[in-house]
Amino acid sequence: MSTATSTPLTARRAWLALGAHYDAIRDVHLRELFAADPERGTRMTAEGASLFLDYSKHRATPETLSLLADLARECGLSERTKAMFSGEKINVTENRAVLHVALRAARGTTISVDGVNVVPLVHEVLDRMRAFTTAVRDGAWKGFTGRQIRNVVNIGIGGSDLGPAMAHRALAHYSKRDLTVRFVSNVDGTDFAEATRDLDPAETLCIVSSKTFTTIETMTNAARAREWLVGALGDERAVSRHFVAVSTNESAVRKFGIDPANMFGFWDWVGGRYSMDSAIGLSTMLAIGADNFDAMLGGLRAMDEHFRDTPFERNLPVIMGMLGIWYADFFGAQSAAVLPYDQYLARFPSYLQQLIMESNGKSVTLGGDRVRYATSPVIWGEPGTNGQHSFHQLLHQGTSLIPVDFIAFTKRLNPSAAQHDLLIANMLAQAAALAFGKTAAEVRAEGTAEALVAHRVFEGNRPSSVILGDKLTPATLGALIALYEHLVFTQGVVWGIDSFDQWGVELGKTLANRIAADLTPGADTTPLHDSSTNALISRYRAGRAQ
C-alpha cells in the first residue's frame, strides 16, 4: 500500500482543515450563501458526458469544494483511478482487478489483466450477444416446437437482476414492445409463479444470470423454470432452445444442462453490481437491440473518460462523491435520497441501493482496521412527483439532514409538453423549497394565525444536487450509471475501504442453509440455534403442518 493511503483519514491535513471549516460554516444558511454571491447558481455547476450538474444548493462554499478536492488528492484518488483503469488488483480482499471500465472500452483499446488484453475478449462476447439477440428479435431463433420467442425471463438476483431490471424499465421507450421481458429474483416461489403465469413456455426464453452460478435463489428458480418448461414441452431437449446462461462459471453451467455454446461469459474482474453492461445485460440487449446497447456503452465510456481526465474541481463523480463525504462525515447525515423526476427511472434508486450500499457499507479499512468515521449513508428514493405526497414532508420538516439528488431531463419522451413542464416545475420547486424554506416572518406576512406559525415554517438549508440530461436515451442512462459507479469509487478511496467485496452477505447465507435443513419435511431434530430462532422454527413447523 502506498504512503498516500497509510495516514489515517482523520489525521490528514485536509480532513482537519475540513473539520475547522465545518465549524465555521455549519450554521450558514443557503439563503446567505446565495445572497452573498449572485452568480452562485451558474458558477457552482459542472458538465460531463452530456450531463449537467447544479451543486449550488449545497452547504458548501468554493473553499469547501477546494478542501474536498485537497482531501481527494491527499487520499491518492488520481493514483487509485489510474490503478483501477490499468487493471491493478485493487479489490485486495479478493485479489481481483476491478475493470468494469473495460466492458465499455472501444475496440482496439488495450487493458491488461495478468498480461492479457481483456478488451478483445469483451468484444468477442458483445459480438456473440449481438448475433444471438438479433436472431431472437428477428424470429430466426426458434423455440423447441418451432414457435418464435415472444417472452424473455431473466432469472438472477442482486447485480444479476437489479441492473437489467432497472435498464429494462429505464429504456422501455427504445424497446421492442412485442417482446415481453420479465425478471425473477426472489426465492419466494411467488416471484416465478407471477412472472410466468400468463407466458407460453413454447415462446419463452429463460436467461439464467449468475456470476457464480451457485447462488441459491437463482439456482432454485432456474430449476423451477426448467421443470415448468420441460413439463410443458415434454422433452428435456427443449432446454437447449429455451435456456441460455450468463456466467463466469462454465462447469456449473454445463452441470445445470446448458450447452456452453448457449453461454455468454464474463470475468472475475467484473463485480456483480458493476455488471449491467456485461453479458448480464443480455436481457437489455434483447429488449432494446444491439445498436442501442452500443449507444449505452458509449455513454458509460464518455463518463469514464470524463472521470479519468477531468480535474477534480470540474469532475462530476468527484464533486458528488466528495459532497457525500462532507455530509456523511461532517454533518452526520445518515441517509441520502435519489429522486428521479422521470417515471422511466422508477427502479434507479433500487439499483443504486446495491451499487452504493453493497460497495461502501463497510466498517474496516483495506488494512483491516476499524474505521473511525461514517462510511456509506442509507440510499433510498422514489420517482417524483409521487414522493412529494409521501415522504417529502420529512425531507422538508423532519429532524434529519438528508441530501437529495434530483435527476431530470429537459426533453420528454411522451405526451404532453404541459405535463413535462409541470413535472420539471415540481422538481425545481422542491429543490428551491428545501434550500430556502420559508421564514416565520414570511409565514406571518401571509396572515397565518400565530399558533400555526411554527408548523408552517420551513427552515430550509437542506441540500440537493440537480442532475439534468437532455433526454433519457441509452447513452444518457449509461452516463448516469457510470457517474454513480465512479462516485462510489471516489468515496471508497477516501474512506480507505474495499468497495468491491461484499463479505457482509456471507453470514446470512450460511445460516439460511443451516436453518433450511431444519425446515425440510421430516427434520424433527431439536434445532440447535439461539432460543429465539429455535422457537420460531418450532412455531413455523407446527403452523406448516396444520
Q: For residues 372 and 45, give the distance between their C-alpha atoms in angstroms, rounded to a whole number.
A: 32
Q: For residues 324 and 490, give the distance between their C-alpha atoms in angstroms, rounded to a whole number.
A: 10
How many other CB atoms are found less than 10 A from the CB of residue 367? 10
By CB under 6 A, is residue 160 in contact with ligand F6P? yes
Cα–Cα–Cα angle for 383, 389, 395, rounded to 5 degrees: 80
User: Any idea which residues carry the catalytic annotation?
Assistant: 358, 389, 509
Smallest separation (angstroms) from ligand F6P to the CB of 351 = 11
Contact, 347 vs 166, CB < 8 A? yes
By CB under 6 A, is residue 215 in contact with ligand F6P? yes
- Return the residue of 158, 299, 321, 527 that touches ligand F6P, per CB under 6 A: 158
By CB under 6 A, is residue 210 in contact with ligand F6P? yes
**Per CB under 6 A, which of residues 483..502 are in contact with ligand F6P?**
502
What is the total residue count of the chain? Answer: 546
By CB under 6 A, is residue 93 in contact with ligand F6P? no
Q: For residues 273 and 100, give the distance between their C-alpha atoms in angstroms, rounded to a whole number.
A: 10
Smallest separation (angstroms) from ligand F6P to the CB of 254 = 16
Residue 507 or 528 with smaller CB distance to ligand F6P: 507
By CB under 6 A, is residue 163 in contact with ligand F6P? no
By CB under 6 A, is residue 157 in contact with ligand F6P? yes
Smallest separation (angstroms) from ligand F6P to the CB of 271 = 7
- Return the residue of 64, 133, 218, 284 that touches ligand F6P, per CB under 6 A: 218
By CB under 6 A, is residue 464 in contact with ligand F6P? no
The beta strand positions in 129-281, using DSSP E, are 151-155, 180-184, 204-209, 243-247, 263-265
Residue 49 or 253 with smaller CB distance to ligand F6P: 253
Smallest separation (angstroms) from ligand F6P to the CB of 243 = 16
- Return the residue of 272, 289, 299, 474 that touches ligand F6P, per CB under 6 A: 272
Phi and psi, residue 333, nearest 5°:
-70, 130
By CB under 6 A, is residue 159 in contact with ligand F6P? yes
The residue range among 91-99, 212-220, 440-448, 537-545 that interacts with ligand F6P, by the rule CB under 6 A, is: 212-220
Residue 160 or 473 with smaller CB distance to ligand F6P: 160
Which residues does residue 45 pair with via DSSP β-bridges, in sequence order? Answer: 54
By CB under 6 A, is residue 463 in contact with ligand F6P? no
Residue from 181, 156, 467, 184 nearest 341 by CA? 467
Smallest separation (angstroms) from ligand F6P to the CB of 525 = 28
Residue 218 or 376 with smaller CB distance to ligand F6P: 218
Contact, 273 vs 159, CB < 8 A? yes
Amino acid at 31: R
Contact, 286 vs 141, CB < 8 A? no
Which residues does residue 438 pair with via DSSP β-bridges, in sequence order? Answer: 458
Count the residues of the shown chain that bind ligand F6P, applying the rule CB under 6 A.
14
Residue 204 or 215 with smaller CB distance to ligand F6P: 215
In order of 7, 62, 435, 465, the CA distances from 327 in angstroms are: 22, 16, 15, 13
In order of 89, 312, 368, 409, 434, the CA distances from 40 in angstroms are: 41, 19, 42, 22, 17
Q: For residues 106 and 86, give the distance between their C-alpha atoms in angstroms, rounded to a whole number.
A: 15
Contact, 269 vs 98, CB < 8 A? yes
Residue 160 or 376 with smaller CB distance to ligand F6P: 160
Smallest separation (angstroms) from ligand F6P to the CB of 232 = 26
Smallest separation (angstroms) from ligand F6P to the CB of 19 = 34
Contact track, ligand F6P, 332-371, x by CB under 6 A: --------------------------x-------------
Grid cell at residue 427: 422538481
Q: Which helix (H) or strand (E) holds 117?
A: strand 116-117
By CB under 6 A, is residue 211 in contact with ligand F6P? yes
Binding positions for ligand F6P, rule: CB under 6 A = 157-160, 210-212, 215, 218, 272-273, 358, 502, 505
